[in-house]
Homo-oligomer: A and B are copies of this chain.
């Protein structure tokens, strides 16, 4: 490759300036020569705002990057080396439903786990597979870096139902790692965290400091610690739970282990008009107001509130490992191939993986700890059924998926909720 062509699907996202900043900072090792921002009709206005800001940012640093913004995805994909996908099918209005409707059934409303994430997956999988169909025709050899949520399920759909090379990313693992490094007050190079599990359902099984396993000491401190994911409610972990599990859970696990408190919190937030979708809408409004300022030539500080800490860092360091064939270790979503021996080989897992030009290669981890094995296996079954439902359009399979989601499970609630989901997203979800 002489220069790299990157295509960002969902380029009008408020996150994009973070990516631009990353491209600028990493230009020495990652010589991006062309960037295309793609979005859909409804996002045109935002897309143009972002394009304009990106142009100013590149210009300020004097980088020679060919920049384009377009609604024509197929054209954009020509000659692409990397495609970054960060779309939100149905936008924030759909997210609002994902978060609020389950509450009517006394169920967690969350946009990636639970019933909310289920609805989101059903809307998103067909759109993502459409993108893959385009890529298969236009740029089969390009890499698809997926940030679109629910990231593990989307990556599963892509790896199973397309020929596109794909790695799924999420910023939770790096946030957990940094939180631990912060707790320890040491240089990150001395710490090694061993992640196992699924996206938004992962665990650190071991924390090593200079090669010594210090997991037990860390466990004592995690319970007291503040949440490390700023976009989920800040319910405290049960100290006894953390000690019982013997592993460090992703903050998203609170939805599974503290369901009652989280449900209470969600209900109060909704009553108080505080739902996350609405908060995000407000933040976005503010951000775009800033972005429109023709004097702005760099990523504004306020963007960090948006919830995507380290987003650009992990995306670009992953692209770097592929482009430069570095064989460095990243925590990514990729096909299991026996790495986690209690999950099927063809499953997608979120775990430490070597990444180089030939792709992501998960490290063999052996069995899951018994304390979390069952939950991970149960959610994996839910994920596979969800992908199958979205691809086959089978309502029967969709119901089977929902009763396998530990945050739903009750068959009658599942059945009624499923009817509402189908009713609520007529353009997106077609199940029979």
Query: What residues of chain B lie closer than 8 Å to A357, measured between beta carbons?
Result: 192, 208, 210-212
Chain A stretch 336-373: residues in CB contact (< 8 A) with chain B: 336-339, 341-342, 345, 352, 354, 356-359, 361-366, 370-371, 373
> Does A91 lie at the interface of the complex (its beta carbon under 8 Å from any beta carbon of B)?
no
Stretch at the interface among A117-125, A268-276, A303-311, A374-382: A374-382
Contact status of A238 and B375, CB under 8 A, knowing A244-B396, A396-B243, A396-B244: no
Contact status of A400 and B371, CB under 8 A, knowing A259-B409, A327-B192, A412-B261: yes
Chain A stretch 378-404: residues in CB contact (< 8 A) with chain B: 378-382, 384-385, 388, 396-397, 399-400, 403-404
Q: Would A411 and B381 count as touching, CB distance under 8 A? A: no
Q: Would A364 and B337 count as touching, CB distance under 8 A? A: yes
Chain A stretch 193-213: residues in CB contact (< 8 A) with chain B: 194, 206, 208, 210-213
Q: Would A399 and B364 count as touching, CB distance under 8 A? A: no
> Does A329 lie at the interface of the complex (its beta carbon under 8 Å from any beta carbon of B)?
yes
Q: Would A361 and B358 count as touching, CB distance under 8 A? A: no
Q: Which residue in B190, B210, B213, B363 is a CB contact (below 8 Å) of A361?
A: B363
Smallest CB separation, A6 vs chain B (Å): 16
Q: Which residue in B363, B371, B404 is a CB contact (below 8 Å) of A371?
A: B404
> Does A257 lie at the interface of the complex (its beta carbon under 8 Å from any beta carbon of B)?
yes
| A381 to B376 alpha-carbon distance, docked (Å) | 11
Smallest CB separation, A215 vs chain B (Å): 11
> Does A422 lie at the interface of the complex (its beta carbon under 8 Å from any beta carbon of B)?
no
Query: What residues of chain B lie closer than 8 Å to A365, measured between beta carbons?
Result: 337-338
> Does A292 lie at the interface of the complex (its beta carbon under 8 Å from any beta carbon of B)?
no
Q: Would A363 and B366 count as touching, CB distance under 8 A? A: no
Q: Which residue in B241, B329, B341, B363 is a CB contact (below 8 Å) of A362?
A: B363
Q: Would A213 and B358 count as touching, CB distance under 8 A? A: yes
> Does A423 lie at the interface of the complex (its beta carbon under 8 Å from any beta carbon of B)?
no
Q: Would A373 and B377 count as touching, CB distance under 8 A? A: yes
Query: What residues of chain B lie closer than 8 Å to A327, measured between beta carbons?
Result: 192, 328-329
| A261 to B414 alpha-carbon distance, docked (Å) | 13
Contact status of A322 and B371, CB under 8 A, knowing A238-B415, A258-B411: no
| A34 to B259 alpha-carbon distance, docked (Å) | 55
> Does A220 lie at the interface of the complex (its beta carbon under 8 Å from any beta carbon of B)?
no
> Does A283 lie at the interface of the complex (its beta carbon under 8 Å from any beta carbon of B)?
no
Query: What residues of chain B lie closer than 8 Å to A65, measured between beta carbons?
Result: none
| A238 to B411 alpha-carbon distance, docked (Å) | 7
> Does A256 lie at the interface of the complex (its beta carbon under 8 Å from any beta carbon of B)?
yes
> Does A406 lie at the interface of the complex (its beta carbon under 8 Å from any beta carbon of B)?
yes
Q: Would A192 and B358 count as touching, CB distance under 8 A? A: yes
Most buried by B among A257, A260, A377, A396: A377
Smallest CB separation, A5 vs chain B (Å): 16
Q: Would B374 and A256 count as touching, CB distance under 8 A? A: no
Smallest CB separation, A212 vs chain B (Å): 8
B-contacting residues of A (Cβ < 8 Å)? 189-190, 192, 194, 206, 208, 210-213, 238, 240-241, 243-246, 256-261, 322, 325, 327-329, 336-339, 341-342, 345, 352, 354, 356-359, 361-366, 370-371, 373-375, 377-382, 384-385, 388, 396-397, 399-400, 403-404, 406, 409-413, 415
